[in-house]
Amino acid sequence: MKIKAFIFMCLFTLSMVGVNAQSFEANGVVIDEEGLALIGATVVLDGTTTGTTTNLDGEFKISVPNPNSTLTISYIGYDPTTLIATKDMKITLQSSSQELEEVVVVGYGVVKKSDLTSSIAVVKGEELKKNVGANFVSGLQGKVAGVQISTSSGAPGSTPNVIIRGVTTQNGSQPLYVVDGVPGVNINSINQNDIKSVEILKDAASTSIYGARGSNGIILITTNRGTTNTKTQFNVSLRTGIQNIPKPNIASAAEYQQVYEARYTNDDLVVPVNWDGVTQTDWWNELVQDFAPIYDYNIGFNGGTDKFIYSGSFGYYKQEAQTKDKGYWGRVSARFNTEYRFNDKVKFGQDLAPSYRSSENYYKDALGASMQYDPTISVYRPIEEQEGLDAFSLFSQSRKTTTWNPAATQYRTFGDYQRFAMLSNTSLEYQPVKGLILRSQFAIDVLFGESNSFAPNFNLGGTEKLEINKVTAGSTRNFDWVWNNTATYMGAKGQHNYNVMTGFVMEQENSRSLSGSQEGVPNNYNEALRYLNAGTMNEKSSGIEGHSSLMSFLGRAQYNYDRRYYITMTYRVDGSSKFTENNKYSHFPSVSVAYNMKNETWLEDVNPVSALRLHGGWGVVGNQNIPAGAYENKVGSVPTVLGNGVVIGSTSTAIANEGIKWEVVEDYNIGLDVGLFNKFNLSVEYFNKKSKDMLMQAKNPLISGYPMRDAMQWTNIGSMMARGVEFGLNVKDMTKEFKYDVNFNISKIKNTAGKLVNDAPQYSGSFLGLTTHKTEVGSEIGRFYLYEADGIFQNQTEVNSHTDAFGNRIQPNAQAGDLRFVDQNGDGQLTEEDKIYAGSGLPSVTLGLNAFFSYKNFDLSFNIIGNFGNEIFNSQKQRIESGYAGVNVKGGLWNEVWREDNPLGTVPRLSVNDANANFTTPSTYFLESGNYLRMQNLQLGYNFLLDELKFRLYLSAQNVFTVTNYSGMDPEAPVGGSVLSSGIDWFPYAQPKMYFIGLNLNF
């Protein structure tokens, strides 16, 4: 449309400048969408061989014979355009990716975006690159309506939780990742700079082609490829930055002592610690580095001849942990994608993507430990005690806390983890007749993992010791292969357009592991001895192999009439090794339709409406996310002692449900897309998903005596529903000097339990061994179910008057300063029946705002995410507000706790015995709103040319700021995880703030 408008403008201009001239010199400038001059663009006078190229400023001059002469302007990677030659032309070329973008990758094929009948969201690789991380997933945050992404840990190398359109299973909510048609690839081995686009398949109409594994949605990743007849282009991207976790407010040694003593004196107990000679240690400063570096370097190239296209890259990424002295996660990756065309009919493709990941062990709980550890203890023993001790024993012993000296723990953590992965993707395509494509793809995904660690012996006193040092090593090998075979036929007859695909797929996952350990390494220091061979005693080893396979037949038929009425039908039959003979196969159909009103004659010329499309779909998908052999009753070995010696007995180790079958999810989806003035794009969708025969590890009563933990057994019990509305708005104008592209999305989701084991409520979540959540049939899943704490008793009179109707005291152990728990049923006792639903651990509303602006050489982009409607159970309070077991508390606690002289204190009284169980009762006291808005990404760039090289220099920040009332470290950390027990916060590795400087170079 833009091009049309431009042509119209040119024609208009032409008519103005007159018809007098015949032969004249046309001139102009050629720019790209971002307004940058294109150097060396080809300008050819149509019908001749006369031509020229643009200069360093993108300008050209060409002599044309008459005013009707047309020029064709072309440039590598951009769509050629043909215009009538004039003076002072300003020609904007659209990059050809714009054209490719019109094609959307679907399962086992591609579809023109306008032909889509299902719900698929596309995120361009460019968008993902703005985010720095071990994988691309956090870059999707806030980009797509209906997709909730939450990062539970800011540790290097961690993968966020992804929930696509709510939760319909208890059995893993993570989607299936498919890289260039290969399902199940470990995303940490994929360099996000290699990604051209990510397609998120949200509804069953789009995912049912993946059948058994589609129920949590599918994320398709397409990597960069070259284009034919294009000269090699290079792009270099370098960035480096720092990470910082803001230091929380931690009590000083003085405040700690004050709190510690009050805990005893408030209970009329003698303070059991003599503070003589105590020191002050700032454990955060001992363990956490202020600025941890992060590096991300990539170089890529692509191009092609008429026969051969190629694209390649090399990437280096390294992120240090926030802990001092040790800990990092890194990856070196390469990719080479090639395709050779033998002739018009046969194409052969081979992609290779090796990667190497390594990480160094560090004390993962260092952040939480440094917040809790006794600040009156010195890091090391006094000098006089150090004599004769080895370096691992020089540290001081902990006193009455549940954590060991964290500096000592960090110091003696040794080990690394290495993974070598290779993804090989081979394809052969044969086009026997026009319209028919036979394609066979065979891919191998290999992953070798190696770990080695060493635990030195040490003795800090008491139980804080390890008598014998130990070396542990392990290796894992995963060898997965997939063989996709498809036949696609497309054609058109009159107004009838059709595209039929049928396929046969085989997949197999194979894993093997081996691990061993030995003790008694002769010395702690010699790094050469930190291997299994150096051990002298207690040799142990273990290893296992596992396989699972899948065989499937699939088909898809797409038809449209006159690009107005669309229908797509898919069907997949999956056979899985995870089920017994009778339940091996399952069927997954889908139907979806669309009505493109814009292509109706009555709307075609209504210019304000640039798009109007209605679509809807239905489908069935499955879930087979259970371990291999889950249907088998197993017998394993168990050692015991009889007759004064070790004997090996056997015992049943798993009692299985032989009747387990596929979990299926049925899903309806309806959506409307509206485009206005070519500038606003609006989309609204409603979805309704419902699972049945939900696979879950159901708890049987313990009296069953089943050998599994909690007598849990894989069972098809239960059903869950997820319903929601998604709204997306895009406002975009890239045609003027001031360009903008602003994308806003918001979605509201509700997850409901339809059926549960015996229709009994399900209790989940854990706080000191007590449950925190309850899920009941017919109501929302994963809600907090807690005692209601409605305030603090101000005096004994209030305690005494907290009674039932007969005057029985409800909290006989309470005193002034304790929490008042509400006796909901008025029976004078606090029992399970007095708990109330206190909100959900899963957010009901998520939003994202993604904005891009550019003016002249500058560009600015940012990304804001938000979560609303969820509560967080701040279980850290149990430690840092109570001083429980002698742990350190939060700074300023003294002024927040209730005391007789501080009656406005909001924290219950300090007490060792906590007779009222203020801090051990799962109550609403710990609950806080989890609402937040976070600017996840901010980037400011400056673009310039230097000797034909296109540069972009930028500054960027991640996790820029967060607006929240939540008092914990990171409101995002507790979200996700197990869906029925989401929202419990426990000393997370909070997401660091990151600041980068970066440079992109294209030539």
Partner 1 sequence: MKNIVISISLFMMTLFMVSCEEFLNEPALGVETLDAYFVNEEECDRYITGLYAKITTHSWTPVYIWWVMTDISTDDGWLGSTYQSAKYVDFKPIAHYEGGSQATTNIYLTDFWEVRYKGIYSANLGVSKIEGSDISQAKKNQFIAEAKFLRAYFFFELVKNFGGVPLTLTTLEPNETISFPRSTAAEVYAQIESDLKDAIEVLPYKANMDYPSGRANKGMAEALLGKVYLYQEKYNDAYTVLGNVITNGGYDLEADFNNVWSKNDNSIEAIFEVQTSSDLSYTLGNSMPVLTGSRNDGGWAWGAPSSHLQNAYESGDPRRKATIVVSGEAIVGEATTAPYVMNANYHKSNRIIRKFYIPKADRNTPYRHATNKLNHHILRFADVLLMAAEVANELGDDNQSRQFLKRVRDRVGLSTDAGLAGTALRDAIRAERRLELAFEGNRLFDLRRWKMDDGKTMLEHAMGPNGWFVKYNLEQSTDEFETTNQIEPSTKGITFQAPRDLLFPIPLNDVQLSGGVIEQNPGF
Contact stretch for partner 1 (CB under 8 A) within 673-681, 689-697, 700-708, 935-943: 700-708
Q: Which is nearer to partner 1, 267 or 780 (CB)?
A: 267
**842: part of which helix (H) or strand (E)?**
none
Nearest to 266 by CA among 917, 912, 919: 912
In the region spanning residues 833 to 892, those forming contacts with partner 1, defined by CB under 8 A, are: 884-886
State yes or no: residue 18 binds partner 1 (CB under 8 A): no
Q: Which of 5, 11, 21, 768 binds partner 1 (CB under 8 A)?
A: 768
Please tell me the distance from the alpha carbon of residue 244 to that of residue 15, in angstroms, as a whole number: 61
Which residue in this structure is represented by tokens 């019109």? 102
Give the range of 557-565, 631-639, 732-740, 933-941 binding partner 1 by CB under 8 A.
631-639
**DSSP character string of 906-955:** -BPPP-SS-TT-TTTS-BGGGEEE--EEEEEEEEEEEEEEETTEEEEEEE
Residues 457-516 touching partner 1, rule: CB under 8 A, are 462-463, 465, 467-468, 485, 487, 489, 502, 504, 506, 508
Could you please report the per-residue DSSP string of 613-668?
A: EEEEEEEEEEE--S-TTTTS-EEEEEEEEETTEEEEEEEEEE---TT---EEEEEE
Spatial separation of the C-alpha atoms in residues 933 and 638, rounded to whole Å: 52
Q: Contacts with partner 1 in 887-946 (CB under 8 A)?
A: 912-913, 917, 920
Q: What is the rounded CA–CA span in Å between residue 889 and residue 882?
A: 7
Which residue, 436 or 534, is less far from partner 1 as judged by CB?
436
Given a contact cutoff of 8 angstroms between Cβ atoms, the answer to whether 512 and 532 are in contact is no
Cβ closest to partner 1, residue 99 vs residue 632: 632
267 binds partner 1 (CB under 8 A): yes
In the window 272-331, what residues touch partner 1 (CB under 8 A)? 272-273
Work out whether 270 is an interface residue with partner 1 (CB under 8 A): yes
Among 606, 760, 949, 997, binds partner 1 (CB under 8 A): 760
Of 47, 293, 382, 432, the residue at the interface with partner 1 (CB under 8 A) is 432
CB of residue 514 vs partner 1: minimum separation in angstroms? 12
- Residue whose CB is less far from partner 1, 290 or 545: 545
| Separation between Cα atoms, residue 969 and residue 834, nearest integer Å | 31
Q: From the CB of 928, what's the least distance to partner 1, in Å?
A: 23
**What one-character-per-residue DSSP string does 523-592 give?**
-SS-GGG-SGGG--EEEEEEEEEEEEEEEEEEEEEEEEETTTEEEEEEEEEEEETTS-GGGSEEEEEEEE
Buried/exposed 751-762: b ≥16 CB within 10 Å, e otherwise: bbbbbbeeeeeb
SS3 track for 720-768? EEEEEEEEEEEEEECCCCEEEEEEEEEEEEEEEEEECHHHCCEEECCEC
Q: At CB < 8 A and 24+ separation, what contacts does 47-56 make?
A: 54/29, 54/30, 56/945, 56/948
In angstroms, what is the minimal distance from the CB of 429 to partner 1?
A: 12
Q: What size, in residues, is the chain?
A: 1003
Q: Could you tell me the two tokens for 145?
A: 């309506």
Record the tokens describing residue 986, joined without a space: 């426990």
Binding residue (CB under 8 A) for partner 1 from 96, 240, 549, 824: 549
AA identity, residue 441: Q
Complex with partner 1: residue 540 or 856, whichever CB lies closer? 540
Number of residues that bind partner 1 (CB under 8 A): 105
CB of 924 to partner 1, least distance (A): 16
Q: How far is the CB of 470 from partner 1 (least distance, A)?
A: 11
Told to check if 828 binds partner 1 by CB under 8 A, we report no
Backbone CA torsion sign across 181, 184, 185, 187 = positive
Check residue 236 for interaction with partner 1 (CB under 8 A). Answer: no
Among 68, 279, 526, 758, binds partner 1 (CB under 8 A): 758
Q: In the range 563-582, which residues lie near partner 1 by CB under 8 A?
A: 575-578
Q: Choose the stretch contacting partner 1; rule: CB under 8 A; options: 48-56, 124-132, 435-443, 817-825.
A: 435-443
Given 277, 644, 805, 948, the residue binding partner 1 (CB under 8 A):
644
Q: With CA atoms as reference, report the closest residue to 625 among 332, 335, 123, 212.
A: 212
Rounded to a whole number of angstroms, the minimum distance from the CB of residue 696 to partner 1 is 13
629 lies in the binding site for partner 1 (CB under 8 A): yes
Nearer Cβ to partner 1 (490/729):
490
**Which range touches partner 1 (CB under 8 A), out of 83-91, 121-129, 635-643, 968-976?**
635-643
| Per CB under 8 A, 778 contacts partner 1 | no
> Can you tell me the distance from the alpha carbon of 667 to that of 87, in angstroms, rounded to the nearest whole number?
58
Residue whose CB is less far from partner 1, 795 or 829: 829
Min CB(819)–partner 1 separation in Å: 15
Tokens linked to 593: 């339709």
Rounded CA separation 203/213 (Å): 13
Residue 703 contacts partner 1 per CB under 8 A: yes
Locate 526 and state its tokens. 């010699």
Interacting positions 650-679 with partner 1 (CB under 8 A): 650-655, 657
**Residue nearer to partner 1 on the CB measure, 130 or 909:** 909
Among 61, 496, 540, 856, the residue binding partner 1 under the rule CB under 8 A is 540
Structure tokens that stand for 14 in this block: 């032409």
DSSP assigned state of 899: B
CB contact at 8 A, 565 and 600: no
Exactly one of 5, 492, 544, 603 binds partner 1 (CB under 8 A); that residue is 544
833 phi and psi angles, rounded to 5 deg? -65, -15
Determine the residue type at 12: F
* Site for partner 1, residues 349 to 408, rule: CB under 8 A: 400, 402
Instruction: Determine the interface stretch with partner 1 among 364-372, 565-573, 632-640, 674-682 (rule: CB under 8 A).
Output: 632-640
Give the residue, chosen from 16, 19, 702, 946, that forms a contact with partner 1 under the rule CB under 8 A.
702
Residue closer to partner 1 (CB basis): 465 or 477: 465
Residue 823 CB, shortest distance to partner 1, in Å, is 13
- Exactly one of 628, 734, 845, 860 binds partner 1 (CB under 8 A); that residue is 628
Nearest approach, Cβ of 796 to partner 1 (angstroms)?
19
Could you give the dihedral angle defined by the CA atoms of residues 732, 733, 739 and 740, in that order, rounded to the nearest 10 degrees?
-10
Please tell me the distance from the alpha carbon of residue 143 to that of residue 131, in angstroms, as a whole number. Answer: 12
| CA proximity to 831, closest of 815, 812, 810 | 810
Q: CB under 8 A: which stretch of 471-479, 776-784, 823-831, 963-971 binds partner 1? A: 823-831
- The one-letter amino acid code at 251 reads A
Position among 254, 770, 904, 997 found at the interface with partner 1 (CB under 8 A): 770
Measured on CA atoms in the order 368, 370, 376, 378, is the torsion positive or negative?
positive
Distance CA 735, CA 373 (A): 58
Measured over the CA atoms of residue 782, residue 783, residue 784 and residue 787, the dihedral's sign is negative
Q: Is 72 in the site for partner 1 (CB under 8 A)?
A: no
Q: Which of residues 108-147 bind partner 1 (CB under 8 A)?
A: none
Q: Per CB under 8 A, does 606 bind partner 1? A: no
Q: Give the one residue of 547, 892, 906, 944 binding partner 1; rule: CB under 8 A.
A: 547
Which of 239, 615, 699, 890: binder of partner 1 (CB under 8 A)? 699
Q: Which is nearer to partner 1, 768 or 997 (CB)?
A: 768
Q: Is 707 in the site for partner 1 (CB under 8 A)?
A: yes
Q: CB-wise, 740 or 763, nearer to partner 1?
A: 763
Instruction: Report how far residue 342's alpha carbon sits from residue 978's, in angstroms, rounded to the nearest whole number.
Output: 51
Position 800 contacts partner 1 (CB under 8 A):
no
Q: d(Cα 99, Cα 120) in Å, to the nearest integer? A: 18
